[in-house]
Amino acid sequence: MLECKSVSVTHGKKISALKGISLEVREGEIVALIGGNGAGKSTFLRTVSGLHRSDGGEIQFQGRRIDHMAPHNISALGIAHVPEGRRIFSRLTVLENLELGFYLQRGSLKSALENIFRIFPVLKERVFQSAGTLSGGEQQMLAMGRSLMSNPRLLMLDEPSMGLSPILVERIFDTIRAINGRGVTVLLVEQNAKQSLGIAHRAYVLETGRVVLEGKGADLLENDQIRQAYLGSS
């Protein structure tokens, strides 16, 4: 579904953030992208959604080249990106946030909203509340809900567990699995390697702009290198 061939990105003139990333996300999968700070995980997502320009390589989505396309056109193809730090419109209401996620869609806003409320019932209770007053977990749900309003084929999540309590992290990961169960392919960027490898079909490990390891989620959980570097046990 998403095929990336030696994608590279340079910040400014010198700082090379991605040094030729090749990876693939197949229809129906949950794919995790793990790695430490500065590995290039977020940059990669931002490049796929068109916020960064790649300066080498090729990105294809459903057989169509999407590098060099504008973000709103990429979004229209069915790629939704929940960015790092969620970036909800904190001064607008929950409903307005969700409506903006529906911006490119035709058809019934109401049924789209009902769909979202089925996944995130708490948003329904808060619908007229301004988004900035939601708790961290609710804000993450809103950010995911806003992205799902565009009825995406591929959902890219950047650190959905960031700043959440362990119980909420658990719930967010359950929800990601449920969303995937509804036929949405998921590309997940996480620092929380244990949780994300737990739900991922496959995973890639990034280090300083390169893929250093790839494999099935369960296999990587058993991998010694991974255990030492990311899971904090030997």
Asked if residue 87 binds other proteins (CB under 8 A), the reply is yes
Asked if residue 118 binds other proteins (CB under 8 A), the reply is no
* Best CA proximity match to 83, nearest among 101, 103, 65: 101
Asked if residue 132 binds other proteins (CB under 8 A), the reply is yes
- What x-and-dash track marks residues 97-116 binding other proteins by CB under 8 A? --xxx-xx------------
Q: Please state, in angstroms and as integers, the Cα–Cα distance from residue 189 to each residue in 72, 95, 121, 129, following that order.
A: 21, 27, 25, 29
Q: Footprint of other proteins on residues 146-175 (CB under 8 A)?
A: 146-147, 150
Stretch of 52-60, 74-82, 198-206, 207-215 contacting other proteins, by CB under 8 A = 74-82
* Best CA proximity match to 20, nearest among 229, 231, 212, 196: 212
Asked if residue 54 binds other proteins (CB under 8 A), the reply is no
Stretch of 8-16, 96-104, 162-170, 217-225 contacting other proteins, by CB under 8 A = 96-104
Kindly write down the DSSP assignment for every residue of 98-126, as one continuous string.
HHHHTTT--S-HHHHHHHHHHH-HHHHHT
Which positions ≥6 away from 107 have C-beta within 8 Å?
Answer: none
Binding site for other proteins (CB under 8 A): 49-51, 70-72, 75-76, 80-81, 83, 87-92, 96, 99-101, 103-104, 130, 132-133, 146-147, 150
